[in-house]
C-alpha cells in the first residue's frame, strides 16, 4: 500500500501501530515524526496520497499538504481510564487539554467521582501555555492531554499528567478507513486513466478551458495543437483567444500542416457559463469516414450516385431550375418533380439528396410503376414472419424502413394504387409505419421526393389519385423542361455522350447533321439523345451522311419497324382484346418488356395487368 503512509507522533503510537499492521498482514510504511517534520516528510513522499496520524500533527498535515489525512481517534474508554488513574492518584481538579480535532471543540466542566474534569480544547500549540496558566489559580492538580500539554505540565510543576493514548481498536479503525479510501481512490484513478486513454485515442483533439480561458484539460491531439498555436495556448491573452474562437468556429484551421475542423461547445450549468470545450476533427478522417459510409450504402444499393455537378447544361432555364433545386435541398419538405420521360428526374432527385444534410444517409429509389400490385405493399412497408404465404422466415424490411434517416424517391408516383396511396398518406402524416402482419409501430425519419410524368390533377379528377396526398407531396415543386425547350443544351449533351461512347464530338459531324440534330424534337429527351449518341459513336465513319443519321433516329424511335409493321389487328374484337393481341404478337416477335412498354407508351404495371 504505497499510497498510504502512517506517521506516528511518538513511539507509543508507533509501537501499537506496528503490532496492528503485522496482525492485519499489511506493509504500510511507518514513520515516527510530528508537526513540521511530519509535514516535510509528507511533502517529499510523492507516491503517498493518504496519511494516518493523530493530534496536532493531523492539524498541520491538513493545513500544509494536499494529502488525504485520516485522524486516529481516541475512544471514550481511554479517556475514562486516564481520569480513573488520576482520581486514584488523589487528583480532584483534572484538565483534559487536547487538540480540538480529538475532543469536542467547546470548553466544558463535568464531575466524575467527586472529581472536577475541565475540557480545554486548543487549535494552536502556542495556546497551550496560556490555557495552563489560566488553570493554575483553579488548583488544577492533574492534566490529561497530547504531547505538548504533558510536556508543559512538568514545566508548571503539575506532577500528575497522563498522555491520552490511542488503543489498538482506534488504530485499527483508522487503518481500515485509510484502506477504504485507498480502494476508492484506486478505482477513481483507474476510471480516470481509462477515460484519458479513450480520449487520447479518439480521432478528435479536445481542449477544455476554464472561465479565465486557461486550458485545464486536453487529450493527446489537443496537447499537440496547444504546442503549435500560441493563441489557443492562451499566451496571446483572453481577448485574442475569444476573437479567434468566434472567427474560426465551424471552420477549417491549418495547424502544424494538418487541416482541422473546429467546433466550440459552451458548458452551462445552472444557467451559468462554466467551461468551454474545443473539439478539433481531422478533415482527412472526416472525408475517409464519409467515403466509407458511401461505400457501405452503395454496396447495399442505397446510394445516390448523381450530384449537381453531373448535370450538364448551359441554358438559363436549367440554371434557374438548379438554383431553386439547391435551395430545396436544404429543406426537409416533400418535393414533387414533374417532367416528361427521359428528362432526368431521378438524377435530379439524387443530386438534391447529395446536397442535403442527409447526404451520408440512405437513398432509396422506388419505381412505383415497376412493382406488381400484389407486391407493392410488402415492398414499401415490409412484413414479419408468417405475414402471408411465401413470406421470408425472418420477415423483411420495407423500403421506407430502409430509407430511415435518409431520402426515399418515389418515381412514377401517379401509378401508385389508391389503397397504397392511403397508406402512404398516413406515413407522411404520422411519420411511422407498420409492417404487414405486425402490431408494432415503427417511427421513421425520411425526406420524400416524388416524380411523375403524368398530370396528377387530371388523375384526381378521374378518381385515380388522392387529392389530400397530392397536397402532401406537392410542397416544393420542380418542373424539368423537355429537351426541345432547352435547345442550348443539345450540343453540349451530344458532345458529352459522343465522347463517352466513341471519343468523337459534334465537330466530327457534318454541319447539316448538326443542324438536323439541333432541330430534332427529341420526344424521348435525354434518354433518347443518349441512345442516338451511342449508336452514332459505334457506327461513326468520316463519310456518315444525314440519311444515315435519320435512319438511326428511325431505328431508335420507329414503332412501325419491320417487326411491328406485320402485326395483325382483328378489327371485329373490342379494344381490350385488340390490346392483348398486339402485346402477344410483340412478345412472339421477341420484343422485351421494356421495348413493348416503350412502343405502346404504357408502364410495366399496365403491361403486367394486360398479360396476366
In tens, the pLDDT along 89-114 reads 888 888 888 876 555 555 567 777 67
- Cα separation, 474 vs 471, in Å, equals 5
Q: Are 397 and 417 in contact (CB under 8 A)?
A: no
The cell 425519419 sits on which residue?
A: 445
11-16-18 Cα angle (round to 5)? 90
pTM of the full predicted structure? 0.49
Residue 420 covered by a domain:
yes
Q: What percent of the chain has pLDDT over 70?
A: 86
Range of the domain at 473: 300-479
Would residue 193 count as lying in a domain? no
Residue 354 — pLDDT band, cuts 50, 70, 90?
very high
- The CATH number for 20's domain is 3.40.50.2300
**What pLDDT digit, counting tens, does each position of 432-457 carry?**
988 888 888 888 899 999 999 999 99
Q: What is the mean pLDDT of residues 151-175?
A: 85
pLDDT for res 453: 93
Give pLDDT, residue 391.
Answer: 56
Q: Is 509's pLDDT higher than 90?
A: no
- Which CATH number covers residue 140? 3.40.50.10660
| Tens-digit pLDDT profile for residues 28-39 | 999 999 888 999
Together in a domain, 176 and 159? no
Q: Is 190 inside any structural domain?
A: no
* 378 and 500, same domain (yes or no): no
CATH of the domain at 501: 1.10.8.60
Q: Are residues 450 and 309 in the same domain?
A: yes
Q: Is 504 helix (H, G, I), strand (E, B) or coil?
A: coil
Report the distance separating Cα 539 and Cα 585, nearest Å: 30
Does 14 lie in the same domain as 135? no
> Taking residues 297-305, what's their average pLDDT?
63
Is residue 247 scored above 70 in pLDDT? yes
- What is the model's pLDDT at position 409? 93
- SS3 label, residue 404: coil
Do 17 and 55 reside in the same domain of the chain?
yes
pLDDT in tens, 402-435: 888 899 999 999 998 898 899 889 999 989 988 8
Residues 454 and 537 in one domain: no
Query: Which CATH number fits the domain that encloses residue 325?
Result: 3.40.50.300
Same domain, 306 and 401: yes
| pLDDT for res 228 | 83
Q: Return the pLDDT at 588.
A: 67
The DSSP secondary structure of 289-351, one letter per residue, reads HHHHHHHHHHHTT------GGG-----HHHHHHHHHHHHHHTS-S-EEEE--TTS-HHHHHHH
CA–CA separation, 32 and 109 (whole Å): 34
Tell me the mean pLDDT in the region 475-499: 93
The C-alpha cell of 264 is what? 466550440
Whether residues 499 and 368 fall in one domain: no
Amino acid at each position: 500500500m504505497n499510497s498510504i503512509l502512517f506517521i506516528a507522533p511518538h513511539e507509543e503510537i508507533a509501537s501499537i501501530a506496528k503490532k496492528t499492521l503485522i496482525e492485519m498482514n499489511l506493509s504500510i510504511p511507518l514513520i515516527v515524526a510530528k508537526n513540521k517534520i511530519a509535514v516535510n516528510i509528507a511533502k517529499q513522499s510523492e507516491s503517498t496520497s493518504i496519511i494516518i496520524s493523530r493530534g496536532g500533527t493531523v492539524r498541520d498535515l491538513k493545513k500544509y499538504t494536499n494529502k488525504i489525512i485520516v485522524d486516529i481517534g481516541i475512544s471514550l474508554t481511554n479517556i475514562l481510564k486516564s481520569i480513573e488513574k488520576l482520581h486514584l492518584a488523589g487528583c480532584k481538579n483534572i484538565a483534559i487539554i487536547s487538540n480540538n480535532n480529538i475532543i469536542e471543540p467547546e470548553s466544558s466542566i463535568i464531575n466524575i467521582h467527586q472529581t472536577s474534569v475541565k475540557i480545554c480544547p486548543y487549535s494552536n500549540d502556542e495556546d497551550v501555555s496560556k490555557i495552563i496558566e489560566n488553570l493554575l489559580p483553579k488548583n488544577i492538580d492533574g492534566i490529561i492531554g497530547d504531547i505538548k500539554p504533558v510536556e508543559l505540565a512538568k514545566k508548571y510543576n503539575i506532577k500528575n499528567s497522563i498522555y491520552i493514548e490511542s488503543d489498538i481498536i482506534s488504530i485499527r479503525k483508522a487503518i481500515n478507513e485509510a484502506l477504504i479510501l485507498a480502494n476508492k481512490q484506486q478505482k477513481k484513478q483507474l476510471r480516470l486513466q481509462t477515460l484519458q486513454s479513450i480520449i487520447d485515442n479518439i480521432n478528435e483533439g479536445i481542449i477544455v478551458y476554464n472561465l479565465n480561458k486557461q486550458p485545464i484539460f486536453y487529450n493527446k491531439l489537443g496537447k499537440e495543437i496547444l504546442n503549435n498555436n500560441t493563441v489557443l495556448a492562451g499566451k496571446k491573452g483572453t481577448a485574442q483567444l475569444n476573437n479567434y474562437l468566434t472567427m474560426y468556429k465551424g471552420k477549417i484551421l491549418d495547424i502544424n500542416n494538418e487541416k482541422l475542423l473546429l467546433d466550440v461547445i459552451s458548458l452551462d450549468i445552472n444557467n451559468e457559463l462554466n467551461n468551454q470545450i474545443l473539439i478539433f476533427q481531422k478533415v482527412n478522417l472526416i472525408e475517409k469516414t464519409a467515403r466509407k459510409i458511401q461505400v457501405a450504402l452503395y454496396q447495399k444499393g442505397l446510394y445516390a450516385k448523381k450530384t449537381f455537378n453531373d448535370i450538364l447544361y448551359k441554358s438559363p432555364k436549367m440554371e434557374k431550375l438548379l438554383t431553386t433545386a439547391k435551395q430545396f435541398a436544404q429543406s426537409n419538405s416533400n418535393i414533387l418533380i414533374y417532367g416528361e420521360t427521359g428528362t432526368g428526374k431521378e438524377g435530379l432527385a439524387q443530386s438534391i439528396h447529395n446536397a442535403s444534410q442527409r447526404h451520408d444517409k440512405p437513398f432509396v429509389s422506388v419505381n412505383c410503376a415497376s412493382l406488381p400490385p400484389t407486391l407493392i405493399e410488402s415492398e414499401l412497408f415490409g412484413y414479419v414472419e408468417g405475414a402471408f404465404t411465401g413470406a421470408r422466415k425472418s420477415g423483411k424490411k420495407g423500403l421506407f424502413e430502409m430509407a430511415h434517416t435518409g431520402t426515399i424517391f418515389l418515381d412514377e408516383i401517379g401509378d401508385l394504387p389508391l389503397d397504397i396511396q392511403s397508406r402512404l398518406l398516413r406515413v407522411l402524416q404520422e411519420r411511422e409505419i407498420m409492417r404487414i402482419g405486425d402490431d408494432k409501430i415503427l417511427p421513421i425519419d425520411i425526406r420524400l421526393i416524388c416524380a411523375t410524368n403524368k398530370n396528377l390533377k387530371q388523375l384526381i379528377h378521374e378518381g385515380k389519385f388522392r387529392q389530400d396526398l397530392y397536397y402532401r407531396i406537392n410542397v416544393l415543386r420542380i418542373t424539368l423542361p423537355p429537351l426541345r425547350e432547352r435547345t442550348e443544351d443539345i450540343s453540349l449533351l451530344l458532345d458529352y455522350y459522343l465522347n463517352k461512347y466513341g471519343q468523337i464530338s459534334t465537330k466530327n459531324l457534318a454541319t447539316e447533321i448538326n443542324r438536323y440534330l439541333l432541330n430534332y424534337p427529341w420526344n424521348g429527351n435525354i434518354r433518347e439523345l443518349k441512345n442516338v449518341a451511342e449508336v452514332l459513336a459505334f457506327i461513326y465513319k468520316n463519310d456518315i451522311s444525314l440519311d444515315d443519321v435519320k435512319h438511326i433516329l428511325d431505328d431508335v424511335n420507329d414503332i412501325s419497324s419491320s417487326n411491328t409493321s406485320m402485326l395483325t389487328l382483328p378489327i371485329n374484337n373490342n379494344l381490350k382484346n385488340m390490346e392483348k393481341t398486339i402485346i402477344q404478337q410483340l412478345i412472339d416477335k421477341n420484343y422485351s418488356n421494356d421495348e413493348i412498354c416503350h412502343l405502346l407508351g404504357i408502364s410495366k404495371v399496365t403491361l403486367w395487368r394486360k398479360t396476366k
